[in-house]
Amino acid sequence: MRRMIQREDTLLDLARRYCEAKSLALATVSTRAAKDGKCFLRLENGGAVGKSTYEHAMRWFSQHWPPETEWPEEVERPPVETEHAA
């Protein structure tokens, strides 16, 4: 039986949706969003993710989410950070 807590399910769902929208491999998105090419593969196999990795990946997805793809309504979206002019 696969046992994952909600944040792992959420992160993996976002990763899969992003992969589909951008036609990218899961490992590619894992490298970009979690700074670890095997992170999402581990989640698929029932692994876990630490709080800081989860928060970083969620911010990354929010910042890079394709405008033509709807953000899942059941997932709270982190605010998109804007760059400040120097």
Half-sphere exposure of residue 75: CA atoms within 13 angstroms, side-chain side: 21
User: Is 33 a member of any domain?
Assistant: yes
- Predicted TM-score (pTM) of this structure: 0.86
Q: How many domains does the chain have?
A: 1
pLDDT of 40 > 70? The answer is yes
End-to-end CA gap in the chain: 52
User: Is 78 a member of any domain?
Assistant: no
Helices (H), 4-85: 6-22, 26-34, 39-44, 51-64
pLDDT band at 5 (very low <50, low <70, confident <90, very high): low
Domain that residue 40 falls in: 6-64
User: Is 36 a member of any domain?
Assistant: yes
- By CB neighbour count within 10 A (0-12 exposed, 13-18 middle, 19+ buried), where does 29 fall? buried
Q: Tens digits of per-residue pLDDT, 6-17?
A: 899 999 999 999
